[in-house]
Amino acid sequence: MPQIQTGVVGVGNMGSGIARNLIGAGFRTAVWDLSEKARDAVSPDAPAMPPPEMAAQGAVMFYAVPASPDIEDRLGEVLAASTSGATIYDLTTSFPDDTKRLAARAAAAGVPYLDAAMSGGAGGAEAGTLTLMIGGDEDAFGRTSHYLDAFARNVFFLGGSGAGHAMKLVHNMVCHTNFLAVCEAGRLCEAAGLQLEDMIRVFNVSNARSYISEARFPNHILSETWDGRSRVHNLRKDLDMAVRLARSVGADRTLASDTLAFLEAASALGMADEDFTLLYRDFDRIRETAPDPKAPSGTSRDS
């Protein structure tokens, strides 16, 4: 078999679409996942190959795993096997300080490590229309950015290591907080005798429109399919990191903390592994138990 050009590590909701788009663009691509079923489902043109073997072939490797610790667990083996050209793209949503530490470790071994945070969800990965927020070695980015065109429509190089992951945390802070704001508005409309569907129709031709009103509510909530394809746990993880980032740089985090408190309350009710769109269905029940982040610890909003 000819030497591979790219490898995708983690072929779940996001990685499978990325891998198929790389293959569709004509790049020789290998895949790896702990699940043999996931590996086999990608494409007959994508051989299964452990990450150290990808690195030994000098591949550009895209890690679509939950978070940076999943990369760090086996990073030593990958760096030890790497040959000229091997490059790591960390597609996770992770804390920038962790990213910088891993990038420094990789750089010491002569391997570029770029953070490439994603927006667009599984649908964007499948359609090849993701937005990528990149941080790291600009020269390495220039050498490898043509691979990104296979699965991303918008690519932003933002600066040094950690810049992409920092921007993603800011992005997700706004996205998730906005989702809950629209949920709260929807509950208000229904309580006032108005129709949720009408609210969304008005929003989408007015200044309150957003991706949440244009896509999330029509596709996953009004339809009652509840299939946003991301867990409540993922939103809580993102907001926790965003609040940590704000705290570390001395920035205000009032609204992010409120959103995090709501997501923690949902998790405490057993919803951590539920699709996040169900937050609307159970909004009132969660809100009753969510603590007020400005009140003493353990104080609910209705206390």
**CB-based contact 46:9 (threshold 8 Å):** no
Residue 299 has pLDDT above 60, yes or no: no
**CB-based contact 211:65 (threshold 8 Å):** no
H or E stretch covering 18: helix 15-24
**pLDDT tens readout for residues 187-226:** 999 999 999 999 999 999 999 999 999 999 999 999 999 9
**CB-based contact 155:103 (threshold 8 Å):** no
- Fold type of domain 166-289: N-(1-d-carboxylethyl)-l-norvaline Dehydrogenase; domain 2 (1.10.1040)
Model confidence band, residue 303 (pLDDT cutoffs 50, 70, 90): very low
Domain boundary assignment for the chain: 6-161, 166-289
Residue 296 has pLDDT above 80, yes or no: no
- Looking at every residue in the chain, the average pLDDT score rounds to 95
**pLDDT tens readout for residues 247-258:** 999 999 999 999
- Fold type of domain 6-161: Rossmann fold (3.40.50)
**pLDDT tens readout for residues 111-152:** 999 999 999 988 999 999 999 999 999 999 999 999 999 999
Residue 290 has pLDDT above 90, yes or no: no
pLDDT at 223: 97
**CB-based contact 130:124 (threshold 8 Å):** yes
- Residue 74, CB half-sphere, CA atoms under 13 Å: how many? 19
Distances (CA, A) of 255 to 175, 217, 246, 272, 286: 12, 21, 11, 21, 17
pLDDT at 292: 67
pLDDT at 1: 62
**CB-based contact 83:29 (threshold 8 Å):** no
% the chain with pLDDT above 70: 96
- Residue 32, strand partner residues: 9
Model confidence band, residue 300 (pLDDT cutoffs 50, 70, 90): very low
